[in-house]
Amino acid sequence: MDLLHKFLNIVLLPITLTVLLLFMPPFLFLKFLWSLKRSIYRENVAAKVILITGASSGIGEYVAYEYAKRGARLALVARREDRLQAVADRARKLGSPEVVVVRADVSKVEECKQFVNEIVNYFGRLDHLVNNAGVSQICLFEVFTQFSDIASIMASKAALISFFETLRTEFGQDIGITIVTPGIIESEMIQRFSQQNKKEMTQGEFFSEVQANWIPTETTEGCAKAILDSTCNGDMYLTEPSWMKAGFWVKTLCPEVFEWCVHSLFVIWPWTSKKD
């Protein structure tokens, strides 16, 4: 068995690279043609039932408006019922024929089961789930005092991506799943950090300020439109804005350079700048 592994270690990677080089150009061309077809015959969401979590603000709110413009029926879920009502009113004005509001906390499993059952029983169907609600804590690891402080953050990021990739593999073409990885999008959180005084910030908070000011932000409306277009096209992944894919390729091909740049930008430089 050890000899087999040694043999595979030597020959498998060169063979794989050779095959990819030979088949990648025609594959990319066919993929381009397929994307053109999907963009022409994209899904029509008029009258379909869309459940959106985290719909009281940010990306969830504007995704609701984009669906409303296309005539979808909406079920909006979030913890702030007053904000949900305001979003629902605007969605109706934008063209949604029917909007229901449900106050719930998606971090509680029983509440999730309850509002899903309520919405399915009310509409009799569910066509799209926009699993938007999440948590964020932008700071350095040294700021945390115990693991429980970051447990929910870890579950809301890479673990979810792996989970939905697994589901997509199981379901095949039966259920479409589009995984969205957004960049820095205009939100309440970004606005809050931009209003703080740098001198009063911790290192972790200054990290957030650097991220907000040095990485161009995208409008929430633009991000929401891209998400809906990608979903209706049946895309597997969406990185928005798309230029942020460059970071993925640098990380994949030159991980040492990528980590050095990130460490310098978000750890060394903010700390020395604060002292200045």
Averaged confidence pLDDT in the chain = 83
Stated pTM of the model: 0.81
Domain limits, the chain: 43-133, 135-175
Across 70-94, average pLDDT:
95
Degrees to nearest 5, angle at CA 165 with 160 and 169: 150
- Is residue 210 predicted with pLDDT exceeding 60? no
Reduced to 3 states (helix: H, G, I; strand: E, B; else coil), residue 238 is strand
Q: Alpha-carbon Rg of the chain, whole angstroms?
A: 22
* Residue 218 near residue 241 (C-beta atoms within 8 A): yes
Tens of pLDDT, residue by residue over 46-78, are: 999 999 999 999 999 999 999 999 999 999 999
* Residue 203 near residue 266 (C-beta atoms within 8 A): no
- Is residue 275 predicted with pLDDT exceeding 90? no
Tens of pLDDT, residue by residue over 119-130, are: 999 999 999 999
The token pair at 87 is: 């979003």
Tens of pLDDT, residue by residue over 218-260, are: 889 999 999 999 999 999 999 988 888 888 888 888 899 888 8
Q: How far apart are CA 48 and CA 50, in angstroms?
A: 6
Residue 126 has what pLDDT?
96
Architecture of the domain made up of 43-133: 3-Layer(aba) Sandwich (3.40)
